Structure formats: structure tokens, C-alpha cells
């Protein structure tokens, strides 16, 4: 007996998406990917100049947008962002939380301020944005940016790795509590070259060969290669996907041993 299958395409066409931390790196690539696929996109960060530049790039892709700055560590900013988007577009279908702040310090060298700053952006910010936007979302998708450092001991990322480990758990709890109307998932990128990571594990650095030896294409990732997973998670095709952390790392995690 054939299955009664109502196919939902992988598209964000007609949706309204808010991407926090969207004026550089992976967040920007996701925002522009949404715009190219027909979504209205509000891409925000603390930088007025970068918000304006990214808004122009979104308009160049035929999408509508707003220019709103937002400090993800300030609840009032997040609320103002949400309210501005609802006033302009009538609602929010997708929230992507993608800000990144890293303290490159070991367990013994990281200061309490650095620890608190990382946690305020990476885990408290994720909770804050999820709570604020979920209050006004009848249905939709929330996508966070996870990290391989949550499950792998990467030296000198003590605060960041610990916060990202907490994010993994938060995604699962939020998915359980906010479903079925709101789906909550995360993308776990592999080693991607961005402004923040350039010079850390790019070509010529000690980690570069170890990374490329374990990826199928023997290279680092590009920010735009993360957008496809975000589009899927934001689309109706992912209607049965929640509480998941999707790894996009060209097989790095799968390569558990060397030949």
C-alpha cells in the first residue's frame, strides 16, 4: 500500500527570517542564502556599518529587509529587534542565532571576565533570543550554531567549548518544551574559514594538515557551505526534525582513525 506522502520542498520562499550575528562569517552566509531562496531576511549585529552593508547584499538578492542593530547580550535589544520585525513583516517564521565570541585561553589562563563574556554570548544569548522570539512565534524554526569543540577537546578554548557543550543540551531541552509548534535544532560546522578563524587553522598553520587529512575533500569549509543545512532546518521539509544537531564537516567527525 503506497504511503500517503505530502511532499514539502526544501525552501524558505515566503518566510520571514531573523539572523542574529549575521554580518560576518557563517551568520552572514546563512542570511544571504535565505535571501537568495526567497525569504525576507533581517540580518543583525552590533555594528551599524555592517548591518547596512549586509542589508544592501540582501536587497541585491531580491529580498526585503530591515536595518536594525542588536546587541545579543542585551535583552532590551533582542525584544526591540523582534518587535520591529513583527511590525514590518507581521511575524517571524525563522530565527537563526549565530553570534560568536571566543576567548582563546586555557583552563588555567582564562579570566572570570572572559569566561562570563563568552557565556553571555554563546549560551545565555542563545537562551535569551530563543525565549524572546518564541513568545511571539505561533510556529516556526529556531536554528543555533553549535561547535565541534563541544565534543572534542580543543586546547585553549576552555570557556567556548564549555558554553557550546551547554548549547547542545539547551537545543534538546528547548525542542522538547517548544514543540511541536516550534522546532529547535542546531548546525555543527566543521573547520570553516571566517574572519574569526583565519590564521588559526588556515594553510601553513600546524593544525591545517591534521584537519585536511581527515576531510574527504582535503580542505577547510566555506561559510556559504553551511547555508544549505540552515535552509533545510528552516523549511517545511524539516517538519519532523527537532532537537537535532546536524554536523556539516566534510566527514571530519566520521574519520575516527588514520590508515
Q: What is the dihedral of CA 10, 133, 197, 194, to 10 degrees?
A: 50
Report strand pairing: 94-97 vs 16-20: parallel
pLDDT digits (tens, 9 = 90+) for 76-130: 999 999 999 999 999 999 999 999 887 888 889 999 999 999 999 999 999 999 9
Q: The domain 16-248: what is its CATH number?
A: 3.40.50.720
Q: Answer with the residue of higher pLDDT: 7 or 91.
A: 91
pLDDT digits (tens, 9 = 90+) for 123-153: 999 999 999 999 999 999 999 999 988 887 7
Angle at 196 between CA 192 and CA 202, to 5 degrees: 50
**Residue 5 annotated in active site:** no
Helix H or strand E encompassing 20 = strand 16-20
**Distant-in-sequence, close-in-space partners of 182: CB < 8 Å, separation ≥ 6:** 134, 137, 139, 140, 141, 142
22, three cell numbers: 549575521
Domain spans in the chain, listed from the N-terminal domain onward: 16-248
pLDDT band at residue 201 under the 50/70/90 scheme: low
Catalytic residue among 101, 160, 201, 232: 160
> If you average pLDDT over every residue of the chain, what do you get?
91
Return phi, psi of residue 147, to 5°: -155, 145
Q: Are 163 and 122 in contact (CB under 8 A)?
A: yes
Amino acid at each position: 500500500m503506497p504511503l500517503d506522502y505530502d511532499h514539502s520542498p526544501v525552501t524558505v520562499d515566503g518566510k520571514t527570517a531573523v539572523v542574529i550575528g549575521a554580518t560576518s562569517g557563517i551568520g552572514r552566509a546563512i542570511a544571504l542564502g535565505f535571501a537568495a531562496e526567497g525569504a525576507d531576511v533581517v540580518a543583525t549585529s552590533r555594528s551599524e556599518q555592517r548591518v547596512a552593508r549586509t542589508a544592501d547584499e540582501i536587497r541585491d538578492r531580491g529580498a526585503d529587509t530591515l536595518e536594525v542593530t542588536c546587541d545579543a547580550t542585551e535583552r532590551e535589544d533582542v525584544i526591540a529587534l523582534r518587535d520591529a520585525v513583527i511590525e514590518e513583516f507581521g511575524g517571524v517564521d525563522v530565527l537563526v542565532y549565530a553570534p560568536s565570541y571566543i576567548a582563546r585561553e586555557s583552563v588555567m589562563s582564562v579570566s572570570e571576565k572572559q569566561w562570563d563574556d563568552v557565556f553571555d554570548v554563546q549560551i545565555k544569548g542563545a537562551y535569551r533570543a530563543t525565549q524572546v522570539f518564541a513568545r511571539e512565534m505561533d510556529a516556526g524554526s529556531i536554528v543555533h550554531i553549535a561547535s565541534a569543540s563541544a565534543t572534542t577537546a580543543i586546547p585553549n578554548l576552555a570557556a567556548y567549548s564549555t558554553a557550546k557543550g551547554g548549547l547542545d543540551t539547551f537545543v534538546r531541552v528547548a525542542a522538547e518544551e517548544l514543540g511541536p509548534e516550534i522546532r529547535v535544532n542546531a548546525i555543527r560546522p566543521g573547520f570553516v574559514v571566517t574572519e574569526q578563524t583565519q590564521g588559526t587553522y588556515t594553510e601553513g598553520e600546524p593544525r591545517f594538515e591534521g584537519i585536511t587529512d581527515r576531510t574527504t575533500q582535503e580542505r577547510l569549509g566555506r561559510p556559504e557551505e553551511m547555508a544549505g543545512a540552515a535552509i533545510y532546518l528552516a523549511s517545511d521539509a524539516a517538519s519532523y526534525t527537532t532537537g537535532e544537531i546536524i554536523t556539516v564537516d566534510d566527514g571530519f567527525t566520521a574519520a575516527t582513525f588514520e590508515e
